[in-house]
Amino acid sequence: MRKAIGFYWTLPVPWAQFNAVDPHDIDKAAAQSRTIAMQRRIVRDYAQREFEILEESAHIELAPDRGTEEFVSGLTKLIERARALEATILLVDFGAATHQRTHQHLQKLLDQNADLFLPIWPGDDQTQGLVAHFGQWRERQTEWTSGKSARVAKALARAEQLLGQGATLGKAALALETEGLRSATGKPWTAAGLRQAIKAKT
């Protein structure tokens, strides 16, 4: 059988505190990300026909809303590993299957290494699952975005209360994190970010 590496990737979701995966612990990555879990299932189903999957690698983009060159440049080791093993890199072409915007930087990398990468088109049932998954994700993303103003206002009101009680900006930011009061982007507050938000409010 031909040798292969399963390659799975997803976007970070700051509001869900999902910003990193262990590229070598595929079971943990799949448990953290349904997108990765679905890609893994599709690749494994496909590989049964003619491939032996030697390794699997999970990766996460740097930006939550777009593809970046930095993410793609970080795949150098994956390519080197595939060449060393004389293995094909199997990945799911879920962007095309679900009619989403293509990751142009990743597509460029695939074109430059066409001898290594084999994009897999999901089956009909798998495509329906991906479409439903991304549809639900977009709904949750919209809910998060629309609630940004109220979320920030609540966090700043709590911060001002803490500052009024003598807390420093750093301690106030830590308290907001402990209480689950996130910033506009979903990332934890910092002293600098809190200072800037309070200044912008006044």
Q: Write out the residue range of the structural domain in which residue 15 sits.
A: 2-144
Confidence of residue 96 (pLDDT cuts 50, 70, 90): low
My answer on whether 40 and 139 are in the same domain is yes
My answer on whether 136 and 183 are in the same domain is no
My answer on whether 29 and 44 are in the same domain is yes
Q: Which of 144, 174, 146 is nearest to 158 (CA)?
A: 174
User: Are 11 and 60 a contacting pair, CB within 8 Å?
Assistant: yes
**Residue type for position 46:** Y
My answer on whether 45 and 113 are in the same domain is yes
For 167, 171, 173, 177, 200, the CA distances from 191, given in Å and listed in that order, are 11, 8, 6, 12, 14
pLDDT score recorded for residue 165: 93
Give the CATH number of the domain where residue 78 resides.
3.40.50
My answer on whether 165 and 130 are in the same domain is no
Euclidean distance between CA atoms 65 and 173, whole angstroms: 25
pLDDT score recorded for residue 186: 75
Using alpha carbons only, what angle is made at residue 52 by residues 37 and 58, rounded to the nearest 5 degrees? 30
Q: What is the C-alpha radius of gyration for the chain, rounded to an integer number of angstroms?
A: 21
My answer on whether 138 and 98 are in the same domain is yes
Q: Which of 46, 45, 38, 44 is nearest to 133 (CA)?
A: 38
For 2, 172, 180, the CA distances from 197, given in Å and listed in that order, are 55, 13, 17
Euclidean distance between CA atoms 103 and 119, whole angstroms: 13
My answer on whether 116 and 178 are in the same domain is no
In total, how many domains does the chain have?
A: 2
My answer on whether 186 and 164 are in the same domain is yes
My answer on whether 63 and 156 are in the same domain is no
My answer on whether 123 and 80 are in the same domain is yes
pLDDT at residue 7 greater than cutoff 90: yes
Q: State the DSSP string of 134-181.
A: HHHHHHHHHHHHHTHHHHHHHHHHHHHHHHHTT--HHHHHHHHHHTT-
pLDDT score recorded for residue 69: 93
Tokens of 165: 């009680």
pLDDT score recorded for residue 79: 96
My answer on whether 133 and 156 are in the same domain is no
Q: How confident is the prediction for the chain on average, in pLDDT?
A: 86
Q: For 47-86, write each residue's pLDDT tens digit.
A: 998 999 999 999 999 887 788 999 999 999 999 999 999 9
Confidence of residue 185 (pLDDT cuts 50, 70, 90): confident
My answer on whether 167 and 115 are in the same domain is no
